[in-house]
């Protein structure tokens, strides 16, 4: 699949297009929460449960899809997942009650899990070390456009056609993704990685026994939770607490993604001089610094403009954290890549989904959201800075070399 440097951008663009199913499914309908709530005769707070539910079930889809892709091949699992996602999306446009809406979000999330879990494994099948880190960063660079565009696309469709059109858009998007993957990735010349006959439990046991990789998995999980807490409560923070319109909300939300794009570009340059693990440590600290500023600004009732800058610093740092987490973690798994990717994704989404779901049951306030982010950030800093600073001879010039 990935043979020549000149083909990297095209392949990464297609994989990023599929990976963007997640951001689009999470962010496109955020501006429509009030309208969806009115249509389903529930509160916007109840509709926000669909975010946490989606994230949690996405993890279950990844847990099953990863080992299946190791056993049956990447193409079957990815294409089936995209198909399930598309079917659920079109049915969501016709949902008439909250239970029906949530059940279809479960189906959509399960398909999304199958579709996206194979992507890190596809990369690891062919690349490793700094080369893999740069490729993950390239995917992240291209994919970062999705969360930037998603709320704006959602707001546009909402204003002209209603909230149902948002899910029709997701169905059409998944159809295009299916065709792109079929034509450009799993074409006749594609050579699948060798599959072995190990059981699912044996695969997970092998992955879990790699203790050095678990530190990266947990760091990635709690840094991702910082972002998920923001996504879950972003509508409340900006539209209810600060009182902005849905259009302004979309712009403020997109500001985080713009800075994430800048950080991603910076990360690609830094990878020419520093190992992934060192860059990862720096940006975990950057994220923590942003949260400290948010706490201070919230307590001092700072104006919206300054608050947004601190939030942008906090969320934008994921532009470097995410690709370096993937590179450092996947470096340990030349075999069972699908299972390893499943465990990483499932842990991230299940923990983030559970924490964000619990946060919706508590009295909603800006300070409580930021304090929850602070706890997660502290865990990340402790994990990533408590490990050894030196790399290993085996991974000299690799993602893990410091």
Per residue in 18-32, pLDDT (tens digit) is 988 888 898 888 888
Report the percent of the chain where pLDDT is more than 70: 90
Given this model, what pLDDT does residue 193 score? 55
Residue 188 has pLDDT above 80, yes or no: no
Grade residue 7 by pLDDT with cuts at 50, 70 and 90: low
> Which residue did the predictor score with more confidence, 308 or 184?
308
Q: Is residue 1 part of a domain?
A: no
Q: Is residue 133 part of a domain?
A: yes
Question: What's the half-sphere exposure (Cβ side, CA atoms, 13 Å) at 293?
Answer: 16
Q: Is residue 4 part of a domain?
A: no
Across residues 393-400, what is the average pLDDT? 46
List the one residue out of 194, 123, 138 whose CA is nearest residue 344: 123
State both tokens at 138: 């390239």
Q: Is residue 402 part of a domain?
A: no
Given this model, what pLDDT does residue 226 score? 95
Q: What is the DSSP string of 81-131?
A: HHHHHHHHHHHHTT--SHHHHHHHHHHHHHHHHHHHHHHHHHHHHH--HHH
**Domain span holding position 256:** 9-188+199-395
**Tally of domains within the chain:** 1
Residue 47 has pLDDT above 90, yes or no: no
Residue 197 has pLDDT above 90, yes or no: no
What letter would DSSP give residue 395? G
Residue 222 to residue 26: CA distance in whole angstroms: 18
Given this model, what pLDDT does residue 396 score? 42
Given this model, what pLDDT does residue 79 score? 94
Q: Is residue 320 part of a domain?
A: yes
pLDDT for 207-252, tens place per residue?
888 888 999 999 999 999 999 899 888 888 998 889 888 788 878 8
Tell me the torsion sign for CA atoms 249, 250, 253, 254: negative
Residue 230 to residue 372: CA distance in whole angstroms: 10
Residue 6 has pLDDT above 80, yes or no: no
pLDDT for 95-118, tens place per residue?
999 999 999 999 999 999 999 888
How many other C-beta atoms lie within 10 A of the C-beta of residue 183? 10
State both tokens at 221: 């999980």
What letter would DSSP give residue 193? P
> Which residue did the predictor score with more confidence, 364 or 80?
80
Please identify which residue in the block is written with the tokens 């790399």: 391
Residue 394 has pLDDT above 50, yes or no: no
Across residues 66-75, what is the average pLDDT? 84
Given this model, what pLDDT does residue 33 score? 87
List the one residue out of 380, 334, 350 whose CA is nearest residue 207: 334
Q: Is 363 helix (H, G, I), strand (E, B) or coil?
A: coil
| pTM for the model | 0.74
Residue 242 to residue 143: CA distance in whole angstroms: 29
> Which residue did the predictor score with more confidence, 268 or 218?
218
List the one residue out of 401, 385, 383, 381 whose CA is nearest residue 393: 401
The H or E element that residue 269 is part of is: helix 246-270
Q: What's the mean pLDDT when you consider all of the chain?
A: 85
CA 76 to chain centre: 22
Given this model, what pLDDT does residue 214 score? 92
Residue 90 has pLDDT above 60, yes or no: yes
Residue 324 has pLDDT above 60, yes or no: yes
> Angle at CA 271, nearest 5°, toward 191 and 142?
60
What letter would DSSP give residue 293? H
Q: Which residues contact 347 (CB under 8 A, 6 or more apart)?
A: 59, 217, 218, 221
Given this model, what pLDDT does residue 82 score? 96
> Which residue did the predictor score with more confidence, 361 or 204?
204
Residue 131 to residue 12: CA distance in whole angstroms: 13
pLDDT for 170-183, tens place per residue?
999 999 999 999 88
Q: Is residue 194 part of a domain?
A: no
Q: Is residue 73 part of a domain?
A: yes
CATH code for position 147: 1.20.1250.20
List the one residue out of 385, 367, 261, 370 whose CA is nearest residue 323: 261
Q: Is residue 242 part of a domain?
A: yes
């Amino acid at each position: 699949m990935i043979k020549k440097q000149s083909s990297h951008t095209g392949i990464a663009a297609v994989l990023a297009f599929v990976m963007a199913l997640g951001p689009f499914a999470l962010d496109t309908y955020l501006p429509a929460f009030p309208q969806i709530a009115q249509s389903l005769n529930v509160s916007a707070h109840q509709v926000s449960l669909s975010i946490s539910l989606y994230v949690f079930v996405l993890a279950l889809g990844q847990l099953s899809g990863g080992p299946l892709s190791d056993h049956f091949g990447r193409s079957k699992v990815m294409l089936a997942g995209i198909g399930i996602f598309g079917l659920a999306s079109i049915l969501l446009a016709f949902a008439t009650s909250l239970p029906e809406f949530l059940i279809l979000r479960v189906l959509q999330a399960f398909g999304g899990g199958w579709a996206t879990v194979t992507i890190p494994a596809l990369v690891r099948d062919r690349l490793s070390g700094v080369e893999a880190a740069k490729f993950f960063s390239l995917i992240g660079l291209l994919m970062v456009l999705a969360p930037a565009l998603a709320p704006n696309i959602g707001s546009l469709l909402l204003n002209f056609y209603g909230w149902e059109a948002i899910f029709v858009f997701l169905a059409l998007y998944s159809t295009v993704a299916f065709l792109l993957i079929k034509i450009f990735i799993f074409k006749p010349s594609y050579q699948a990685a060798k599959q072995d006959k190990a059981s699912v439990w044996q695969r997970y046991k092998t992955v879990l026994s790699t203790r050095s990789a678990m530190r990266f998995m947990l760091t990635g999980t709690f840094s991702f939770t910082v972002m998920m807490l923001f996504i879950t409560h972003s509508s409340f923070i900006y539209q209810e607490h600060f009182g902005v319109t849905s259009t302004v909300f979309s712009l403020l939300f997109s500001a985080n993604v713009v800075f994430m794009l800048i950080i991603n570009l910076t990360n690609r340059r830094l990878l020419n001089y520093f190992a992934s693990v060192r860059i990862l440590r720096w940006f975990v600290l950057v994220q923590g610094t942003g949260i400290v500023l948010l706490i201070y600004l919230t307590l001092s009732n700072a104006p919206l403009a300054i608050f947004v800058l601190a939030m942008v610093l906090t969320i934008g740092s994921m532009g470097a954290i995410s690709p370096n987490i993937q590179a450092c973690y996947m470096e340990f798994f030349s075999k069972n890549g699908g299972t390893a990717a499943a465990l990483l994704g499932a842990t991230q989404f299940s923990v983030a989904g559970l924490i964000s779901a619990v946060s919706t049951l508590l009295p909603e306030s800006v300070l409580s959201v930021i304090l929850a982010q602070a706890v997660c950030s502290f865990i990340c800093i402790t994990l990533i800075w408590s490990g050894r600073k030196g790399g290993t001879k085996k991974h000299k010039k690799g993602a893990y070399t410091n």
